[in-house]
Amino acid sequence: MKKIEDLASLANDLIEQENFKEAYYVVMKALEIVPEPHSAYAEATWLFATLGDIYFSKNDFEQALFAFTDAIQCPDGLGNPFIHLRLGQCQFERSNFDKAADEFMRAYMAEGKEIFQDEDPKYFQFLKSRSKVY
């Protein structure tokens, strides 16, 4: 699975360079290496999360939601604060505010307000408007 790790690392580097198209192809190539069913392998968790992050970075919240939903069904996906944060953001941007609040709270419960630190403040403000968080 070293090749998958190398491809995932390359994809993350490409995302940082905002080369989303190339990052997408690298992630898809890595997913081809993961045996079926993907949901049985931890590698698929972070590959789907990376794919979701690519879509999220391009403001394609519907496709991001699909990818993060796939990630959450893989090992260690459920309860992963980053995945729940992104799911919440996707739901928020699609005006599914009850679902957004639920996902934001999952992220907050796992990691506190620090999970929101590098994100648009509107997401944490929204969570504060829905619950007693500090």
Give the contacts of 28 (CB within 8 A, at least 6 positions apart): 51
Q: Are 50 and 27 in contact (CB under 8 A)?
A: yes
Secondary structure (H, E, C), 10-25: HHHHHHHCCCHHHHHH
Q: Is 112 left (phi over 0), alpha (psi -120 to 50) or beta?
A: left
Domains of the chain (ranges plus CATH)? 1-60 (1.25.40), 79-134 (no CATH)
Q: How far apart are CA 92 and CA 7, in angstroms?
A: 30
pLDDT tens for 8-28 read 899 989 999 999 999 999 999
The model carries a pTM of 0.91
Q: What is the pLDDT of residue 61?
A: 98
pLDDT tens for 78-122 read 999 999 999 999 999 999 999 999 999 999 999 999 999 999 999
